[in-house]
Structure 1
């Protein structure tokens, strides 16, 4: 099994430290390396960033940590660095969608739709723990199914159980498509030997609230989601942002369904 590489974008904040701690925690179970990435606007910022990040490396000698400090844009260079290093995942902390970001899309969403690498978002108040229960919802679309292999491999690596949910549809054609997708998912999870549970849920208010209520009732440790970046105003997709910034502070693992290029990351 090849070494996993986790990219942790670090803006020298406590939230970025939280994302790093998550990467370190994941690295305990598998052979992995962490790349701390700091994007600067001016060359004069490099020395301060190098000093700060080198102290982090010194405090964590048990896991290989490389540093990259480069001038550029977080919206393009995070994805480029991840692609260049064949990263398994980008693990980034976020303060949440605030103010005008809610209208024009959060910083996290803008970065997510720029890369083919899976993106794990850690909130400021996320509690560090194992991913024993992973939940993802599917629709009638093929794009929503793109998360299947990634979630399955993640569950297999960390011995997790997957909870696969979908909305009970009244439209017969849509219901049939969802049923077919669930059948495909069931066969795949059985084939790779992953413990899973399938469930159709009544949507009593909004699907976002239904999913989050289900997560709370079933002690979900991570959301996984396949994001269709072709949607209108993709970075403002309400469901995606609601998962990323959920009030329970559950980590969210997102892939861009239109850019995913490989089925195995973890």
Structure 2
């Protein structure tokens, strides 16, 4: 993985759920010795209406005050950006500009991202090359020691190797255990393909010295089974991978991933978009 600026980006709209996202980011920044950048996006129309009474400088001051309250006595470096634009394009754009390591974003519980951002909400995630960690309004799953138990759903796609790469990367940073979960395939061809993916995952985890477990489930609701398993083992992170729409050269979040993001147990979810500039060697991410 290339050297990055070690910045965690946190979109802030001054609601309690974004303060929760900031608390998660602070916990991660303390462990990783990273910086935090707070981002507030102002839409063009609203931007023009309020310029006379509330300038970018004042917003920036409010962001920095919020950040300083969250970090307490720690030495975490806090910065703030105010950007005119829209959340769908500009969160990902700013993350790329500052070379962010992660984006930590809050949602409003089981009603999900639609409640926060409207019907195009999931584009916020799919428009970014930087992974999102999506958290809900309560910090029920403490991460003061990092993501110690990571649930990694495995499927038949080649993109799942990038998901594995991020799981390995995080597990090495936090000394985590990775919990693989997959479905029981009856079709012989699909079964062999899944077994090959499992073998690759096991080998990558072993070669990187990472503890792991494997859960194979049967049934039709893999999303529900994954969430139940994650809460049973007290996981504090679930991995999710978007899919590529080759016809539109775009990414989309499927029903499984959306259920993970909005999970009723409020477990943080890491969303990763497939990237052509990433390669996986023995489970290790490379750029």
Q: TM-score, normalised by structure 2?
A: 0.83
Once the two structures are TM-superposed, the CA of residue 49 in structure 1 deviates from its matched residue by: 1.9
Once the two structures are TM-superposed, the CA of residue 114 in structure 1 deviates from its matched residue by: 0.4
Counterpart of 1:111? 124
Q: Output the aligned Cα RMSD.
A: 2.6
Counterpart of 1:21? 23
State whether residues 4 and 100 of structure 2, in contact with CA within 8 Å, keep that contact through their aligned partners in structure 1. Answer: no
Measure, in 2, the Cα distance between the counterparts of 1:100 and 1:124. 12
1:237 equivalent in alignment to 2:254: yes
1:49 equivalent in alignment to 2:51: no
1:249 equivalent in alignment to 2:266: yes
**Any gaps of 5 or more consecutive residues in structure 2?**
none
1:67-216 matches, within 5 Å, as: 67-96=80-109, 98=111, 101=114, 105=119, 107=121, 109-130=122-143, 131-203=147-219, 205-216=220-231
Q: 1:80 to 1:234 in 2, by over 3 A?
A: closer
Once the two structures are TM-superposed, the CA of residue 145 in structure 1 deviates from its matched residue by: 2.4
**Which stretches of structure 1, 4 residues or more, deviate above 4 A after TM superposition?**
96-100, 231-236, 262-265
Q: 1:218 to 1:95 in 2, by over 3 A?
A: same
Choose which of 56, 59, 64 in structure 1 pairs with 2:77.
64
Q: 3-state SS of the aligned residue for 1:82?
A: helix
Q: 3-state SS of the aligned residue for 2:153?
A: strand
Measure, in 1, the Cα distance between the counterparts of 2:167 and 2:127. 20
Deviations 1:138-175 (A, max 9, x none): 11111222201111110110111000111001111111
State whether residues 167 and 200 of structure 1, in contact with CA within 8 Å, keep that contact through their aligned partners in structure 2. Answer: yes
Measure, in 2, the Cα distance between the counterparts of 1:111 and 1:105. 11
Once the two structures are TM-superposed, the CA of residue 220 in structure 1 deviates from its matched residue by: 1.4
